[in-house]
Copies of this chain bind each other. A is one copy, B any other.
Amino acid sequence: MQSCFVKCIMSTIIHSNADILNMETRYRAAFINTLSGFKSANLIATIDEQGQTNCAVFNSVVHIGAHPPLLGFICRPDSVDRHTLENILQTSYYTINHVNKSIYQQAHKTSARYDKETSEFEAVGLTEQWIEDFSAPFVKQSRIQLGMELREHHILTINNTELIIGEIVYINVKDDVVNEDGYVAIEHANSLAISSLDTYHETALLSHLSYAKPDQAVKEITLRKK
């Protein structure tokens, strides 16, 4: 198997690594970024030691564990993510805020390369929300807000990206989207999904399925409010 060889057989296009190297940078980024499937849409908000706030959209937040409650995300130190990463390493605290239908254009605008001295909150028209005993700002317009504390940090040496793992220490979610089995209907909070880098999707519930067991058929379960 040539690991340096990428084929698209059904499209009968063959890409070698040289072809990929020669793709226009944004074309390649859009193409490869779609291949993981749908992504979460979150705004990560931070503050530095000088009191400068920062807010940036991320599509790489991933569940790491439920107990303790842990989320990870991927950072590129050489990109606009760098202020987010610098601030988290300085202060250990940050917030993760779901992007919903009412703020996705502002959320996307945070991916522009603003100076460190510019707060994206102001630049794109989002509102800082502060709560007692938590040192990072939340995004007021977000309907699912998480307060995070840094727990673990890995450098992914193959491309110099970084995995930041934090524990969920604060949850702000409306009770009316929590179901009796613990499932939070993020669709009813108007949370969005992202594909690639710049494409935002609403969702429609297809099915809430039963816990799978080898000797039983998978059943569709009706969601019930608490």
Identify the A interface with B (CB < 8 A).
Answer: 1-13, 15, 17, 20-21, 23-24, 26-42, 59-72, 74, 93, 96, 98, 101, 104-105, 108-114, 118, 123, 131, 133-135, 144, 146-147, 149, 151-152, 154, 156-159, 161, 163, 165, 167-175, 178, 181-184, 186-187, 191-193, 195-196, 198-214, 216, 218, 221
Contact = CB atoms under 8 A, between A and B. Distances in A.
A206 B191 CA distance: 12
Contacts of A59: 63
Contact of A34 (B1, B93, B183): B183
Number of copies: 2
Contact of A171 (B2, B15, B66): B15
A85 to B, nearest CB: 15
B182 A211 contact: no
B204 A204 contact: yes
Nearest to A29: B66
